[in-house]
Structure 1
C-alpha cells in the first residue's frame, strides 16, 4: 500500500505550492533527481582519475631509473610533456624515454616530433645531426617550438638552430629557397630566421608577402635576417617602395620593420609605425623614437588596432 497525493497547484496566501498528483509523477521526480546526481558523480570521478593520471605521468616522465618502456605508455603523457612548466631535466628525461621506446634516434617516427615540441630543445647537437629533415612534419615540429610557449628563452640555442636551418636547407626533399611557397615558409616557423642572407634573397617575393605576417611575428629573429627580409619586402612583388606602405602593410610585416635603415624608416609616417608592436617595443626599450624622442605609453596602446591610430604623438 502506498500513499497518494491528490492536490493540485493552488494559490495559498499569495504563494504557489506544487504537489504530486500520482505515484507516476513521484517516480518522474526521482528520475529527475537521480540522473543529474549520477552525472555529477561521474564527472567528479573522471576529474579525480584525470588528476591521478597527470600525477602518474609526472612520475613516469621524471623517473630517470626507467630502462625499458614503450610508446603506448608514453603517448598518453605527452600533454604533460608539452606543458610550458616542463623543466629542462624533465625534457631531457622525456627525450631519453622516447629513444628507449623506439630503440634509438634513427627509429623515431616523423609524427612523434610534432607531439613533443617543447621537449625538442633537449636534443643534443650530435643527435640533431642524425635526425633527417626530409619531411614537412619534422620541419614544422622543429620550427614551431616557440609557437607553443610565450617564453622565447625556452627553445633551441644558436648552435642547434644553425644546424637545424642548415639541414632543412639541404635535406628537405624537393625544397629550396627559390622554390619555397607561402606554406613552406609558414611550416618552417622560426627556422626562416636562421637561413642565410643569400637564401632569403633567392625567395619569391610574392610567396614571402603571403607569409610575411607569420615571419614578422617571430620575436627572436636576428638583425641580419631582419635586414634581408626588409630588402625582400621592398620588392615590387612584395610590398613595394617603403614610402607607399599603408598602415596595414606596416602592421603586417611586424618585426621586419626593425630591419629597415634609418633613412627608410624616415619616409614612413610615425603614426603608421606606432601601429607596429615590434617597432614600439624596440624603441621603447632604447628610450628613443625615430627622431631620437621617447615613445610614449599612449603610442604603445595603439598596438591593439588601427582604431587607436589617432592617439596623441609621443612628446
Structure 2
C-alpha cells in the first residue's frame, strides 16, 4: 500500500532513485524483489537504474504492463527494459505477440525497431489499438509502422472509410499516415483529448479546415500553445469558432446538440466494442 501511495504521482528523478534504493535494501538485491511489489511501483520505477531492469523478474504480464505505462523513462532505461523483456520472452517474437502482449508492452513498443513492429499481426494490433493509441515520444518510423498495421485489411482498412469510433481507437497512430486528409472530416469527432498530447504539429498543420472544425471541445481545449502556434490563421479561426460554438452551448446549460450527443455515443460505443472485441 505504501508503494502505491508513493508512486501514485510523478516524482522528481532524484526522489524516485532514493525510493528505489531503499526498496532494494529491503530485499538485498533487485532480482529478489517480488513481482507483486514491482507492479505497485508506479512513478517510483522512474528511479530504477537502467542495468537493474536486466535483473528484475518479468514473468508476469501484469508486471510488464506496469512498466509499459508512460513514466518518462530515459532512452537507456527503456532500451534496458525492452532487452530484459526480450530475454525473458525468448520463446516468442513480435509475430507471436497477442493483443494482450501489445497492450501490456505499451510505451516499450517505442524501443523496438520498425521490422519488429512490421512483424506484428494486424488483427492483434486492431484489438489492442486503444491501449497503444497514445504512445508518447515514439519515433516516427515506429508510428508509421503502426499506421501501416492500422490500414491493413485485417485491421481498420482504408483511412477514407474510418469512422469516429475507429479514430477514437487509433488515436495518435494517424500521425503515421501518408496523408491525414484521407480521413473523412466527421471521423475526427472521435479524436480524444488524450490523443492531442502525442499528435505532432505537422499532422495538425496538414489537417483541413473542415477536419479541424469537427474536433470535440475537449480535444480543442487540450491543444498546447505550441500546437496552436504551428497553425495558420484560417486553421486557428476554425478552431476558435468550434470552441466558441460548443462552449456557448455548454455554458448556456442547453441540451446537447445531436453532434455533441454523437460524440458521447462514439466514446461509449468505442469502449463497448473494445471490451467485446466487436471491431
TM-score, structure 1 as length reference: 0.62
* Equivalent in 165, 184, 189 of residue 248 of structure 1: 165
More helix per residue: 2
Q: Aligned pair 1:192/2:109, yes or no?
A: yes
Distance 1:93 1:157 in 2: 17
How do 1:149-168 and structure 2 match up within 5 A?
A: 154-168=71-85
**Does the Cα contact within 8 Å between 2:61 and 2:104 map onto a contact in 1?**
yes
Structure 1: state its 5+ residue gaps: 1-75, 147-153
Provide the residue aligned with 2:155 in structure 1. Answer: 238
* Equivalent in 51, 54, 66 of residue 129 of structure 1: 54
Quickly say closer, same or farther: Cα 1:290–1:156, change in 2 above 3 A: same
Superposition deviation, residue 309 in structure 1: 9.2
* Equivalent in 235, 253, 270 of residue 294 of structure 1: 235
Distance 2:202 2:137 in 1: 15
How do 1:100-249 and structure 2 match up within 5 A?
A: 100-144=25-69, 146=70, 154-172=71-89, 174-249=91-166
Superposition deviation, residue 227 in structure 1: 0.6
Whichever of the two has the greater Rg, that structure is: 1
Distance 2:104 2:29 in 1: 26
Quickly say closer, same or farther: Cα 1:171–1:249, change in 2 above 3 A: same
* Larger deviation, residues 276-285 vs 94-103: 276-285
Superposition deviation, residue 85 in structure 1: 5.3
Superposition deviation, residue 90 in structure 1: 2.5
Cα deviations across residues 145-171 of structure 1 (Å, max 9, x unaligned)? Answer: x3xxxxxxx520122112212332342
Q: What secondary structure sits across from 1:236 in the alignment?
A: coil
Distance 2:198 2:14 in 1: 33
Superposition deviation, residue 211 in structure 1: 0.6
Distance 1:111 1:200 in 2: 29
Cα deviations across residues 265-304 of structure 1 (Å, max 9, x unaligned)? Answer: 22212232354243698477887342475151355769xx
Structure 2: state its 5+ residue gaps: 209-231, 248-256, 264-279
Distance 1:280 1:114 in 2: 26
* More relative contact order, 1 or 2 (CA 8 Å, 6+ apart): 2
**Does the Cα contact within 8 Å between 2:164 and 2:189 map onto a contact in 1?**
no
Provide the residue aligned with 1:273 in structure 2. Answer: 188
Cα deviations across residues 31-71 of structure 1 (Å, max 9, x unaligned)? Answer: xxxxxxxxxxxxxxxxxxxxxxxxxxxxxxxxxxxxxxxxx
Flag as ranges the 4+ runs of structure 1 deviating above 6 A: 283-287
Distance 2:242 2:91 in 1: 45
Length, aligned pairs only: 225
Superposition deviation, residue 219 in structure 1: 3.4
Provide the residue aligned with 2:176 in structure 1. Answer: 259
* Larger deviation, residues 105-114 vs 269-278: 269-278
